[in-house]
Chain A
Amino acid sequence: MIVRTATTVLLLLAVAGATSAHAGATSETPIPVVAAPDAAADMAQTAYDPLEGFNRGSYAFSMGLDRAVFRPITHGYMAVTPTPVRHRVSAFVYNLGEPSTFVNDVLQGKPKRAGKTTARFAINSTVGVLGLFDVAAGMGIRSHDADFGQTFGRYGVKPGPYLYVPILGPLNFRDGVGRVFDFFTDPIGLAGQGWSSPFGITRLVTQTIDTRANADLAFRALDQAVDPYATARSAYGQHREALIREATGQVQELPDFDDVPATTDPVAAPSETSTPATESATSAPASSEPAPPPAPSEPQ
């Protein structure tokens, strides 16, 4: 019974690790960030979170579990291994994710990216000693991430409601379904006879600790947030949308920095209106509508 529960937890973590190990590694592809100002940009920043009550409970539970289990293990790992060794572990884990990246590159109709992924996997698995060294990056073939959530997004699927799944962490409906697809289509996972084989379990445990170690700075940042739940939700949403823009080639709709979002919440009834004491908020003509800049060269 305990074994089965443990296996279930490990399975869950596998799904988490499968993509987040990739998401956690540094992507070398510059994320398109430029756009003409858009009045509706405020909406894009606000997470759609109809399940906030459940999600907050799930978040609290997961963070408690992290403090009790994952954080001590990770910090122990970080204490006994020098940084260069951890970098080798990260590179090894990342390399095992490349076939899955390839699958999604192909599904997204991006032969150039698929070629890069193949080249990286071939070079790093051989010259790079089973992926311990990222030789390909040194040759200028830099890594990029791809997963099913991104593939869905590339074809226009919207994120849907935000979801904080216990242990798995932040998701939305689109990327949650993507995670399941990632899990069942991962070529390395299939070749390694599933996640319950000795190879599968070893990979899973390594990946989980590596992912948590790479996310340690993010966890520390969350500790210092006033509302860690809202901060994690915002960061996750922005991170995922940036990854999907990487696949679609779209540019980000940033808010005009001096525009204060319209009051959509009746709670904030303007009882006393005060003029901002800081700036007149018109350093640049807000009405000027420059043509959208050319799409970055990366997509396709």
Chain B
Amino acid sequence: MTAQQQEAIFRRWLDAHLGLMLKVVRGCAAAPEDQDDLFQEVLLQVWSSIPAFRGEARETTWIYRVAFNTALAWRRGERRRREGHETFMKFDVSPQVQPSHVESLAEQEIVARLYAAIRQLPKVDASLALMHLDGLSYQEMAEVLGISENYIGVKLNRIRKQLAEQLKGANDEL
């Protein structure tokens, strides 16, 4: 694979799957500086993984694998890449880049509480919760984690209950 091809794929994945990567990062790290650190690490690993991508797996499955494996190996405060780097990411609040639908404040609150609840789960359960919420099939989740689909079902039942329990207070408030 040439450098140009790798760059083209990386740019396409960034356009198509940025939200996926950010969800994994936010589901695994709470503090903004940790999220920044982990996000850079995920991007680096995604970039490095591209030459091995043969198109046999779905792009989303591939990126989930890379992102989860990176989050697993990443340890808070162990390595800081921010020093001396240029800022490539910024939050845009201008109206033209707002999402087409208007997220209600209540929905934003639910999502924020979901992230907090997911971060409380064990790492593997957090990975499953993120994929389940994103609507991945049992087969895709099994591929990402390397376990059987039956076991996925068993674990998801438990995770749903745990999430419901943790969000119970929030739901009452909402």
A in complex with B:
no
A residues near B (Cβ < 8 Å) are none
B residues near A (Cβ < 8 Å) are none
